Structures are given as structure tokens and as C-alpha cells.
Amino acid sequence: MASISFKNVVKHYGTGKTAVQVLHGVDAEISDHEFIVIVGPSGCGKSTLLRMVAGLEEISGGQICINGKVVNDLEPSERDIAMVFQNYALYPHMSVFDNMAYGLKIAKVPVAEIKTRVDKAAKILELGHLLDRKPRALSGGQRQRVAMGRAIVRQPQVFLFDEPLSNLDAKLRVQTRLEIQKLHRELGITSLFVTHDQVEAMTLAQRMMVMNAGRMEQFGTPEEVYNRPATTFVASFMGSPPMNLLKNGPNESLGGPAGALLGIRPEHLRIGDAGWAVQVETIEMLGAERLVYGRLGDEQLIVRTEESDACPTLGATIHVTPRPERLHWFDAASTQRIPAAG
């Protein structure tokens, strides 16, 4: 097991005027046993950061430490990590057992020890009845479990997951998320998990790094990130649907700072007899709830309502009030959260 430390980590490609910087000074401290999710949109630098931990990308500046040891110049094989990729990367001509055992055989681990480790991992992942099969005879979810099993038998200090669920269908993604949570509870190995899916991030993370354009915008628990977003980017990226951000909202009547952006999540708005006048444009039915999209002046507003609530009519004007304790304020220039007064 191990802690991980990022100290002003920088990554750029090329040199001089043609250099392209993709990571801008990432600082974070990760404790032993933590499950950390690195989340952000495509191109934000999250996979690059993970590959730098693995030793698959060179570090342009700063330090990455694993268990207090600087690993900048260590080969991947010297870092005691195991990585699970998006595309499974299984050997098609080998059985499940041999795929899981291959790295141990290369490391010349005794045959009896290999069998013990593979059997234990197979039991954890419910793969025992599949050990003789080839990858072509497995479902996508089973192949991903084999890839995780191959990492488990290594008994590493750190697990690295690079968008491992993105090739699975929706049902399998949910099932595999539960398996990963169970795996971490049983093994307790420090883990970094990269995803662009904010639902995966919220459900898996003990803490999460929210990345944007090569910078870490916020590092905190899912509750902290969702309930107290540090920037407008975090507010809009974390949450489905995103937080409403109003440039021309009635700030003065709500006690907000002059010229600030007002943030309010769709579930913290209530339809009633008074309040903001919103013209209904679209309604999305999502089973137990619905999303009402409307116009508040020249800005879009999203309201989340229960399925049991009366359904507004398209084109109608409804009145909406925000829960005052759930308001968020952001500086319009810096996009940073404005702390509550007092």
C-alpha cells in the first residue's frame, strides 16, 4: 500500500515557442488506501497525469512520489503499480487463467504461488468458472473483470484505472462499478481512477480531482464538490443536469454580491404561485422525475420536479423560487466561488 504525492507536476510536449503545455502545476496529496477519481472532459489532462504516475509519460516538471519515494526517473516496472486499461488488452490465444498469470510467470513467481494468487483473484471477481475460457468466449464485462484480476494478482502498491468502463453498456457499467467498490473494500489498495463520466466519479470516489484544461479546479469529497463547487466549471460539469448559472438573475433581491453569477441546482428550485416567471420550452420525462427547461428572461433555467408533481404545459409561464440556503455565488471575472458572508 502507498501514498501518492503530486508536487507542482507539469507536462508539456515540444520545446521553446512550439511547446504545448497540457498540465499546469498539479498539487495533491493522496493517502494510503484512498480511492481517488480524476474526472474531467476529454483533453483536460487526466489520462496524461495517470500515465505519468505509471511511468508511461515523462514528467516535464515537478515531482511524483509513491510512498515518499520520487519516481520521476523510475521505469514502470520499478514503480510497483498495476494498470487497468480501457481496451482490456487480453491475449486472445490464452485462457483466462493464463492471462491473469502471465505477468507472474514473467516475474518467475513459483507455480504454486501463481495458482494461489489467481484462484484468490478469481474468487473475488467471480471468475472461477471461466478460468479455462479464451477471451473471445467472454462478455465485455467478464473481459474487464479478467483485466482487473490480472492487476490484482500483481499485489501492487497502487492500482491505476484508465477509463475502464467506457466500452461497457449502461447496465454493465453499473454492475462493474459495484464490483470495483467491493474490490477496494476488500483489498484497500490505493487507487487512481480516470473517467470523463461524472456519475462514475460521484459514485466511486472517496475524493475526486476535477480537471479542466490541464489544471486541477477542485480536490475534495463528492459531497464537497457537489455542494460547494470551487468554480463555475465544477458547478456546471459535476451534476446531471448541470447547475443553473445566471448572469442576469435577480441578485439584489436574493442578497447576492453585485455583478456576481448566481448558481442554483435544478433540484433546489420549486414551482409555485409566485417567484421568477419562467416560460416552459421543453420537458424531459425521466421516470421518477422530470426536467423542465424554460427561459428566465434571456437565460435558460432547468427545474427538476418529481413525477408525482403536476406537469407544466409547453409554452406556459410558471413561477419558480429558489431555496435560499442552496444559493451559490461566483465571481464573474475569475469564475471562483465567492465565500458566504460571515
CATH of the domain at 313: 2.40.50.140
Q: 335 in a domain, yes or no?
A: no
Residue 234 belongs to some domain of the structure = no
pTM recorded for the entire structure:
0.89
pLDDT at residue 250 is higher than 80: no
Q: Alpha-carbon torsion 297, 302, 303, 307, what sign?
A: positive
Distances (CA, A) of 199 to 170, 213, 263: 12, 20, 20
Same-domain check for residues 194 and 286 = no
The phi, psi pair for 110, rounded to 5°, reads -55, 145
Q: Which of 229, 258, 277 is the last residue of a domain?
A: 229
Please report how the helices 170-187 and 140-152 are oriented relative to each other, as an axis angle in degrees rounded to 10. 20
Which one-letter amino acid corresponds to residue 17? K
pLDDT band at 265; cut points 50, 70, 90: very high
Q: Is the pLDDT of residue 251 over 60?
A: no
Q: What is the pLDDT of residues 106-149, one digit of tens each?
A: 989 999 999 999 999 898 888 999 999 999 999 888 888 898 89
Q: CATH number of the domain that 48 lies in?
A: 3.40.50.300
Which residues face 262 on adjacent strands?
Answer: 246, 329
> In percent, how much of the chain has pLDDT > 90?
68
Q: Are residues 210 and 249 in the same domain?
A: no
Give the residue-averaged pLDDT of 319-342.
Answer: 88
Q: pLDDT at position 342, please?
A: 46
Of 164, 199, 229, the position where a domain reaches its end is 229
> What domain range is 139 assigned to?
4-229
User: pLDDT of 62-81, one tens digit each?
Assistant: 999 999 999 999 999 899 99
Has residue 190 been placed in a domain? yes
Domain count for the chain, please give it: 2
Domain match, 145 and 191 both: yes
Judge whether residue 322 has pLDDT over 80.
Answer: yes
Give a yes or no: residue 337 inside a domain: no
Q: Are residues 279 and 299 part of one domain? A: yes
Residues 10 and 151 in one domain: yes
- Residue 301 is assigned to a structural domain of this protein: yes
